[in-house]
Amino acid sequence: MDERGTEGRMYGLFDGFEEHRTPSEIDYKRLFETGMIALDSNVLLNLYRSSRRTREDLLAVLEHLRKRIWVPNQAVVEFWRNRGSEETLDHHRTKSNQARQLLTRGRRGALDILERWAKEVQVPFEDIESHRDELNSAFEGVLGMIAKQAEVNSIKEVGDTSKDPVLTRLEDILRGRVGPPMDKSSYEEALREAKRRGESEEPPGYEDYKEKDDERAAGDYLIWEQTLSAATERDCELLFVTGDSKKDWWRQRTAFTPAMPRIELMNEMRRRTGQRLFMLTPSDLLRLAEEILEINVESSSVTDLERLENAERDKQSSWRWDYDPDRESVVGDLPPEAVSQVEAMAESLTEIGDEISRDGGSGAKNFVMPDVIIQALVLEDRHQILIIGALLIPGVG
């Protein structure tokens, strides 16, 4: 059999199929020395969401790699668009307050259950009083620990961009490293292409068209297009670092294969630039920087970023619940025992959200508990369950 191609050259197993080659440590060492390292906006934003130790380690790695770093203009647009939110600037206190509210709600429910049990089996109140105190003390200890941790990791003076320590470090690292904005004609053409890809589910970015307006949904494609253009000009390999875990960027990770870019993206990169595309999450960047560049990185920093990435992945794939319009409007008039039942059922529904949507799709549904009938709105496209009503069963309470 002739082993030569139609043009007479010899072909090997990976020739024309480079997208199937798993990156090696040698590849990443070469990228750190000669490649272009493009950062997504979430890499910069996660500096505010990370612990203090992780923040320092990630900034140290970025400073070490600054000569190779490049940031697409659209990523900076999205950085400034999202930086000012409470979720970003006050991330640790916001998450602390949310956790403390849920725990306080759980404490009320636990105490209500204990008192109800005592009433139903005729246990004198004085016999459970010490246990009530133990419950309260345990909850107070956890609530205090969460508040203290938030203070440790929160960044001071983030409201003033001239004093924000994260911005001060980033400004130095990214000086001369941000790409230019598209001209009006190129931008409009890119918006049209992004929408076409969204409608045909062609990566990247089509997942965003399920929940965002067209211009916001185009963000991932704009970042991709600007990055490809820069890689073409530089004629070098590309390492794209992103905390975005959606399937319109990544191939599915299995027990046998690591996370790798979508084959379509690797092929497009090769067609446009003749070069190879690599992708890493921020946690993998830290891990490899420690191994290859011998930068001192705490193992807890890698774990911290992995948790952030997993939380984002869970947020995209898991179900969540909320009151609509708010808790007071829905359950404000119910006795505490009934409220506990409503919220316990809501938590349970998030565990079986996929089954509920498969059985009946989106729409209003009723769920009956011992003391209350719960009215819920299941939103399949948003993976959300809204508790819109709760009626006490006659004769209860």
Q: Name the residue among 111, 119, 171, 112 with its Cα closest to residue 139.
A: 111
Measured CA to CA in angstroms, residue 149 lies from 22, 144, 154, 301, 382 at distances of 39, 9, 9, 16, 31
pLDDT tens sequence across 5-51: 556 678 888 888 888 888 999 999 999 999 999 999 999 999 999 99
User: For residue 374, which amino acid is it?
Assistant: I
- SS3 of 396, please? coil
What is the Cα–Cα distance from 249 to 220, expressed in whole angstroms?
9
CB-based contact 342:372 (threshold 8 Å): yes
Order of strands across the sheet with 384-392? 320-323, 384-392, 372-379, 363-368
Distances (CA, A) of 270 to 103, 146, 216: 51, 48, 27
Q: In angstroms, how far is the first alpha carbon of the chain from the final one?
A: 85
Please give the CATH number for the structural domain made up of 320-392.
3.30.2310
E-strand stretches of 33-97: 36-39, 69-70
CA distance 14 to 99: 50
Please report, as a single letter, which amino acid is at residue 111.
Answer: L
Strand pairing class (36-39; 69-70): parallel
pTM value is 0.74
Contact 281, 309 (CB under 8 A): yes
Mean pLDDT of the chain, nearest integer: 88
Q: What is the pLDDT along the chain (397 residues), one digit of tens a residue?
A: 444 455 667 888 888 888 888 899 999 999 999 999 999 999 999 999 999 999 999 999 999 999 999 999 999 999 999 998 888 888 888 888 888 888 888 888 888 888 888 888 888 888 888 888 998 899 999 999 999 988 888 888 888 899 999 999 999 999 999 999 999 999 999 999 999 999 999 999 888 888 788 888 899 999 999 999 999 999 999 999 999 888 888 887 776 777 889 999 999 999 999 999 999 999 999 999 999 998 898 888 998 888 888 777 666 556 788 999 888 899 999 988 888 889 888 888 887 777 776 676 678 889 998 889 999 998 876 778 999 999 998 865 5
**Phi and psi at residue 230, in whole multiples of 5°?**
-70, -40
